[in-house]
Amino acid sequence: QVANMYAVANSLYNVLMKRNTVTVAFVIAGALAGERFIDYTFDGIWSSKNQGKLYQHLEGTVIGGPKEEE
């Protein structure tokens, strides 16, 4: 079992860490994907906690309602 874990770790090293360009690309791609995930997650949490208080929820009701014709 330890030998199997060593083989997996060795394979990951050969794929991701052996060349500097691949490592840098992996880190940048991970940062971008992580930022996207964090952004969408916390935007969803913020929106659900502030339901009815944000502009997007009030648009067309209190703020920017239908224009009255003169």
pLDDT confidence band for 40 (50 / 70 / 90):
very high
Percent of the chain at pLDDT exceeding 90: 43
Give pLDDT, residue 57.
74
pLDDT > 80? residue 70: no
Q: Which amino acid is at 26?
A: F
Q: Reply yes or no on whether the pLDDT at 55 is more than 80.
A: no
37/67: higher pLDDT:
37
What DSSP line would sit under 40-61, residue for residue?
A: HHHHHHHHHHTTTTSHHHHBTT
Mean pLDDT on 18-26: 90
DSSP state of 36: H
